[in-house]
Structure 1
Amino acid sequence: MSDVGKHLFSGALSGLTSSLFLQPFDLIKTRLQQGDATLGAKQRGAIRSTARAIVSSSSNGVLGLWRGTSATLIRNVPGIALYMTGLNQARGFMAVSPIFAAVRKRDPERHSSVLPVLTNSGNLLAGATTRVAVGFVLNPLSVLKARYESNLHAYSSLISSARSITRAGPSELFRGFLASSLRDAPYAGLFLVFYEGVKHEAASILPPSSPLTSAMLHSCSAAAAGTVATLATHPFDVIKTRMQVRTEQKYHGLTRTVLAVWNERGIYSFFDGASLRLSRKILSSAIGWAVYESLLVFARSRNVQKSGLYS
């Protein structure tokens, strides 16, 4: 398998694993952020009451918490695969530049990572630009995912929701892209900076001397980085969700949506679903990056073994 193929496969498996396990977090977060007028201010932030409402209204019971899983997989599996692959290509390209190439050298015998090493500014730029580029390509799927998870749209199936959004034209397909970019660019950049920084420092405490310790190192580093990046960017996640699931005039445009959210409960409205998104991001980052990097490390070790046999 080619190098690009390995990254695509590892990224896709990473996205598949995290999406299947964590869909309930996404579903409940969307319901909390959509600003449903039937929910009171106190209930709007109540995770348990929202979860109970979903379960009780679903003919599938607890499995109702996995509503929208198909839309999530359609969005996240190719999205994470493209992001991971594009990020690796961008970092590889930037690593040859003296401006972005990190001074420290990687020990090939340590199982910490097989990815290019950049300076903090390089990681910030690579993460931000790659995430926004992939987000633009897949924004129609993000709108589809958000609306299918919401209960404000009477979509009986994924296909019917896709047809409805497509018929509405480009303005609907790319709704919320600006808010998504304002969330994703700093999130991806900050995540990568903290992920690489924490991983580098933690390697002295938890030396990646085996596949297990290597996976633990990646998982803990990603969880820590996900915490910081999520808290810094959550208000834009609320704005993005509101723009993508609500059709009222006051949610058309970034400025109007910001004012509409602010007029509800002030600054508190911008943190609806924050605990859910934080929990999901910590877990998805821990699972996703551990799976992604562990597969690449495994592939590298297999290549080393093969080259040793035939040398």
Structure 2
Amino acid sequence: MSAKTRPSSHLIAGASSGFASAIVLQPFDLMKTRLQQVDGRSTGMGFGRLIGIARGIVETHGWQGLWRGTHATLLRNVPGVAVYFYGLQTIRTQMTKMPHFAAAARVSQDSVTTVLPKLSREGDLLAGAVARVTVGFLLNPFTVVKARFESDLYNYKTMREAFRGIIRQQGVSGLLSGWTPSAMRDAPYAGIFLLFYEQIKDKAEQAMIRAHREPSPGLIHSVSAASAAAVASCITHPFDVVKTKMQLRPERYTSLTKTILIVLKEKTFFNGLGLRMSRKVLSSAITWTVYEGTLLLLRERRR
């Protein structure tokens, strides 16, 4: 662990950021899932289509229907984000001891906007990918349940009913549905995100210092995270579509190869891209701003 922060700090900061983003942004996840469950045609990024989906949900379930699946999201995101940040910090701290992955000597480890250790670009790519895929595997059962709650193909009333239904229909292996495309999406996403986030954050802080302005941690974190999320989302979105289809319709999408071929034929690789990008941009801005802000606050309190 970094000498500046305790292990518990990353768990607390990660859980806080995961809770905040899950509550605020659940409607984005819900509508993205509804877009991606459609077979045979591309729904694209049409605003009219999104309004139609939202109106249908509100008419059927009321405004609270836009937060359907929040329990599953919280069960996945709060411990998931906490463990992800803890694991990421542990990996990065160990990698700083390896010459190939440690940041160049000219890169200062002291910063007024972060307490996190700095790595080379290769180090950021690898650390993000390893931490995200590991946590994704552990929490995949909650991801499957979350996707089914958000879809209108299932009518689960409780989390227990959802888990029992999946196991009864597919066995325990059903709880790992879509993990392969999830890993193929999450590994590059997390690596690309962390690389761009750290680079943009460093450049922004240096620019403000050169301009003789006091660096604003909240502004730097939110802009850096939002920009990095936009880039990573565009690159990895096709695997998000494949993952969702395998989790919702395992009887049709029986394998990764078959699903990719179907999605290619139906040209639905970018269904829900606008929603996912919007959700990721906002989620990342909230998550990383709360996470790094909490770490800075805890550091100041200890001082």
TM-score over 0.5 for the pair: yes
CA, structure 1 residues 97+44, in 2 after alignment: closer, same or farther (shift >3 Å)?
closer
Rounded to whole Å, the distance in 2 between the matches of 1:42 and 1:286 is: 27
Q: Which amino acid aligns with 2:67?
A: W
* Residue 112 of structure 2 is aligned to residue 86 of structure 1: no
Q: Aligned pairs, how many?
A: 292
Q: Which amino acid aligns with 2:134?
A: A
Pick aligned residue for 2:50 from 39, 43, 47: 47
Unaligned 5+ segments in structure 2 are: none
Q: Which amino acid aligns with 1:20?
A: I
Q: Pairwise CA RMSD of aligned residues?
A: 1.8
CA, structure 1 residues 152+126, in 2 after alignment: closer, same or farther (shift >3 Å)?
same
Deviation, 1:166, is 3.1
Give the % identical residues. 50
Note if contact 2:44-2:270 (Cα within 8 Å) is conserved in structure 1: no
Q: Give runs of aligned pairs for residues 231-310 of structure 1, distance below 5 A.
A: 231-249=234-252, 251-264=253-266, 266=267, 269-304=268-303
Rounded to whole Å, the distance in 2 between the matches of 1:233 and 1:48 is: 25
Pick aligned residue for 1:11 from 8, 14, 21: 14
Residue 272 of structure 1 aligns to a residue whose secondary structure is coil
Partner of 1:33: 36
Note if contact 1:219-1:285 (Cα within 8 Å) is conserved in structure 2: yes
Partner of 1:95: 96
Rounded to whole Å, the distance in 1 between the matches of 2:148 and 2:250 is: 11
Rounded to whole Å, the distance in 1 between the matches of 2:45 and 2:127 is: 36
Residue 206 of structure 2 aligns to a residue whose secondary structure is coil
Q: Which amino acid aligns with 1:226?
A: A
Deviation, 1:36, is 5.4
Note if contact 1:79-1:138 (Cα within 8 Å) is conserved in structure 2: yes
Deviation, 1:44, is 8.7
Rounded to whole Å, the distance in 1 between the matches of 2:244 and 2:59 is: 24
Partner of 2:208: 206
Rounded to whole Å, the distance in 1 between the matches of 2:206 and 2:98 is: 28
Residue 114 of structure 2 aligns to a residue whose secondary structure is coil
Deviation, 1:112, is 1.6
Rounded to whole Å, the distance in 2 between the matches of 1:44 and 1:169 is: 35
Deviates more, 1:228-237 or 1:292-301: 292-301
* Residue 188 of structure 2 is aligned to residue 189 of structure 1: no
Partner of 1:75: 76
CA, structure 1 residues 119+231, in 2 after alignment: closer, same or farther (shift >3 Å)?
same
Rounded to whole Å, the distance in 2 between the matches of 1:181 and 1:285 is: 19
Deviation, 1:206, is 3.5
Partner of 2:117: 116
Note if contact 1:32-1:44 (Cα within 8 Å) is conserved in structure 2: no
CA, structure 1 residues 43+227, in 2 after alignment: closer, same or farther (shift >3 Å)?
closer
Partner of 1:132: 133
Rounded to whole Å, the distance in 1 between the matches of 2:52 and 2:44 is: 7
Note if contact 2:43-2:271 (Cα within 8 Å) is conserved in structure 1: no
Deviation, 1:106, is 2.8
Deviation, 1:148, is 1.0
Partner of 1:307: none
Note if contact 2:35-2:43 (Cα within 8 Å) is conserved in structure 1: no
Deviation, 1:263, is 2.1
CA, structure 1 residues 44+171, in 2 after alignment: closer, same or farther (shift >3 Å)?
farther
Deviations 1:230-259 (A, max 9, x none): 00000000000000011323x011011111
Higher relative contact order (CA 8 A, sep 6+): 2
Instruction: Give me the TM-score of the superposition, normalised by structure 1.
Output: 0.90
Rounded to whole Å, the distance in 2 between the matches of 1:273 and 1:123 is: 28
Rounded to whole Å, the distance in 2 between the matches of 1:17 and 1:36 is: 32
Deviation, 1:205, is 3.0
Deviation, 1:56, is 1.2
Instruction: Give me the TM-score of the superposition, normalised by structure 2.
Output: 0.92
Rounded to whole Å, the distance in 2 between the matches of 1:93 and 1:209 is: 31
Q: Which amino acid aligns with 2:263?
A: V
Rounded to whole Å, the distance in 1 between the matches of 2:45 and 2:246 is: 18
* Residue 188 of structure 2 is aligned to residue 160 of structure 1: no
Q: Which amino acid aligns with 1:184?
A: D
Deviation, 1:156, is 2.2
Note if contact 1:43-1:49 (Cα within 8 Å) is conserved in structure 2: no
Unaligned 5+ segments in structure 1 are: 305-311
Note if contact 2:42-2:271 (Cα within 8 Å) is conserved in structure 1: no
Partner of 1:308: none
Note if contact 2:109-2:117 (Cα within 8 Å) is conserved in structure 1: no
